[in-house]
Chains A and B, each alone.
Chain A
Amino acid sequence: MTTATTTTVRMTGISKSFLGVPVLQGVDLELRGGEVHAVMGENGAGKSTLLKVLAGVHRPDGGTIEVDGDPVSFAGPTDAQRAGIAIIHQEFTLLPHRSVAENVFLGREPVRRMQVDRRRMVADTRELLDWLGEDGIDPTDAVSSLSVAQRQVVEIVKALSTNARVLGMDEPTAALADHEVELLYDLVRRLRERGIAILYVSHRMREVFDLSDRITVLKDGRFVTCAPTGELTSEALVRHMVGRDLGEYYPDRAAPADLGPVRLALRGAGNDRVRDLDIEVRAGEIVGLAGLQGSGRSAVARAVFGVEPFTRGVLEVDGTPRQVTRPRTAVRLGIALVTEDRKGDGLALRQSVRDNTLLVRRAALRGARSRARSDLPALLDLVTVVSRGEHQEVRFLSGGNQQKVVLAKWLAVEPKVLIVDEPTRGIDVGAKRAVHELLRDLARRGVAVLMISSELPELIGMSDRILVMHDGALAGELPAGASEGAVMALATGHGIGEVA
């Protein structure tokens, strides 16, 4: 008998409310050593809260937690760590100005002769990094110099360094590119082999089926079901999560008649991130921009929008060459950018739905047009925002609704060119579909859409054409419905010919 049969953690009847709003109601969960236990549910179903209760971040209002049969009560994250439970949070929990080693041992710095034992911190961190095969990261590097994927690795190292027996992961792949996801899978499997219990929260169906041994489904804070992964189909799982069928469905692509004139054109454009870009996006089409993390996808978006402008080549809007050196110019020209960092760049979190929605209009347009808000309800309806009214602060909305507010913000100025960077990152299935339909609808009404996504099925399902970037330049163009293999081949620097 292996350790896989011993129960490590049992949560029974867990309840938790925030400001009187129940988030968890009597949830049960059993987690065994050596298993990957997936928790699924739409945003707002209570997955993250459940994880945070387990991690000692939130105290449950009711219910019990047992570790190896002994009831425990965590006053804070440190107590949970001591019981062998560590969590990788959805938001990165690293200090950018501090080194990798300092982050890994934050709050648990080894002390020797009254001083922090920096040598040991660095050595232990290096050992863990080597064990993961991550020798590209040095323990003395500042976290601010690392890529998103490398920061993820640091998060995992941080959790492992507590000698955790139970590891909670909240949407660990949300910020990763496809090739990095594979590395994470490997890592998770290795952790499982070592008898670690993994609580895996994710929206991505494929991941959950690839990785997990059992799946628990939550809906609206309540336990729905728990079953071995092998006994569930993806259709059944979706039914449990949303109470309705939602297959892999994308709206119809553009017909040739839908295509209008070229809205956005780049001719030989470049800066110190990207080079030799020749791109045309027509009214009525959605052009996908694929590439690995660091290939320059987002740099193109930032350059077009004037954040880090092009220094070479020509940028044309509706056939006229333009100098876009600041976002304000871009907005005036009818270019909109939905950034990948919704909370950091996209929203004023403490302001209301209304103020966020009208932010760009007030900033960019003059006079009466900027003050008009008669069409605000129509705008919010259009993007189907669910809120407790237009005065609610956006930080209280779910991820999906926040993203819809970002979209509404741009629709308020009726853009001609819409660039969306990871438009559905970290939002639930229903909201995702709403965003997809909205993007297609906008294209149909004559907007030129440039869509960046790390999620290949989404990119392929949505795009009328796919441009693939590699190492700061365009590696090639693929037609609608190209295979994931073809995209990855170009993205990793191989020609199309080699794939076929």
Chain B
Amino acid sequence: MSTVHENIAPARRTAARPAVRRRLTPVVIVYLALAALLVVGSVLVGMRGEVLLDQAGILNILTRATALGVVAIGQTMVILTGSLDLSVAYLIGLTSLIAAETMAGREGMIVPGLLLALAVAAGVGLVNGLVITVLRANAFIATLGVALILRGYLEHTYTGPAGDVPRGFQHLGYDRIGPVPVAALLMLAVVALSWWYLSRTRPGYHMYAVGGDVEVARLSGVPTRRVIVTAHVLCSVAAGLTGVYLASRLGSGAPYVGTDAGYDLESIAAVVLGGTLLAGGRGGVVGTLGGVLILATLDTIFDDLEVDPFFKDVVRGIVLVTAVALYARRMMADRARGRLA
């Protein structure tokens, strides 16, 4: 928690835990793992006479991390709240199309296209949230259902890419400062904003509370339904941002742009890799960013090494399972300490 009180705490604490254990939170672990991965990756790529973290390498990692990062941040919010969103991948496709078709190559329609795409995304989030809170459907099933509805609409209406993104908007996808894409900076801004929202504002506190225990939150006067609906709206808006960003990179909208990259499961993987409990109540976006960067770095290393794509998936699976097992062990240790009686 806050460092201000850390100075007072040790003297008052009756049974202080070893400092090292306390500091080795999932967030720290995930960034240590990222650092280790960068070192190992640099060595492996270096053995082929190439450089992992050259301008192109950094650009590659950050570009991969941008799209996944924004969805994963939204996903972090719903998971923290004890929910889940499986509809983000199709929503990304839908919003890319809405943005591109509304813009239709006209510079003047950039803002309306953007706003319309995000408004539709917010609407989908609202539906997700209401189905879960008012109709009391399980989040997994509810968002899977919405995903199917979106898929049906996309498959019925589109056969391939559609719409046209004007030159002016393509800057969002391609402008960069040195090796750093502007979009990656915007993604970091979204991370910073969500970090502030989750750890400093009341609605953010309430997301942790609802995810920790809905009944406890309700009994404490937290408007639990509103919190869950808000999380879903924010998650869907994040997916909408990703859709818009991908449209700007592609130059048009595409129905399968979200599902081809598997952003639904990939974003959940990044969140869990980042140390957020799938059951909710514990974690945060800083860890998720680490998880996203690990996944993006892995991909870049594999590309540089020209690894068989099937082997890629095997390694990603191992990384994910290892991480979750590691966090679970730590949770068990915490739990055991808590019940000393």
Contacts and interface: CB of A to CB of B under 8 A. Distances in A.
Interface residues of A, number: 44
Interface string A83-120: 00000010001111111001000111101001110110
B330 to A, nearest CB: 12
Given A97-B212, A140-B2, A298-B341, A77 B9 contact: no
B282 A107 contact: no
Given A95-B281, A140-B1, A141-B13, 8 more contacts: A77-B221, A106-B205, A106-B220, A107-B222, A138-B9, A145-B338, A297-B341, A298-B341
B9 A293 contact: no
10 contacts: A93-B213, A95-B213, A96-B338, A106-B205, A115-B196, A119-B4, A136-B14, A138-B13, A139-B5, A145-B338
Nearest to A143: B338
A334 interface: no
A119 B341 CA distance: 32
B200 interface: yes
A107 B220 contact: yes
A401 interface: no
A293 B12 contact: no
A140 B5 contact: yes
**Shortest Cβ-Cβ A-B pairs, 5 listed:** A107-B221, A78-B221, A95-B212, A107-B220, A106-B220
A455 interface: no
Contact of B200 (A81, A95, A115): A115
A156 to B, nearest CB: 14
B217 interface: yes
A78 B223 CA distance: 10
Interface of A is mostly: loop
Contacts of B217: 95, 106-107
Interface of B: 1-2, 4-6, 8-9, 12-14, 17, 196, 200-202, 204-206, 208-209, 212-213, 215-222, 281-282, 334-341
Given A136-B12, A141-B13, A94 B341 contact: no
A166 B330 CA distance: 41
Contacts of A298: 339, 341
Interface of A: 57, 76-78, 81, 89, 93-99, 102, 106-109, 111, 114-116, 118-119, 122, 135-136, 138-141, 144-148, 158, 273, 293-294, 297-299, 308
Contacts of B334: 144
A76 B8 CA distance: 38
B341 A148 contact: yes
B77 to A, nearest CB: 16
Interface of B is mostly: helix
Contacts of A114: 201
A39 to B, nearest CB: 19
B221 A76 contact: yes
Contact of B209 (A99, A106, A141): A106
A468 to B, nearest CB: 16
Contacts of B6: 140
B212 A99 contact: no
Contacts of A93: 213, 215-216, 219-220
Contacts of A95: 208-209, 212-213, 216-217, 281
A209 to B, nearest CB: 28
B205 A294 contact: no
Contacts of A109: 202, 205
A407 to B, nearest CB: 22
A95 B216 CA distance: 7
Contacts of B339: 298
Given A102-B205, A107-B221, A140-B9, A294 B340 contact: yes
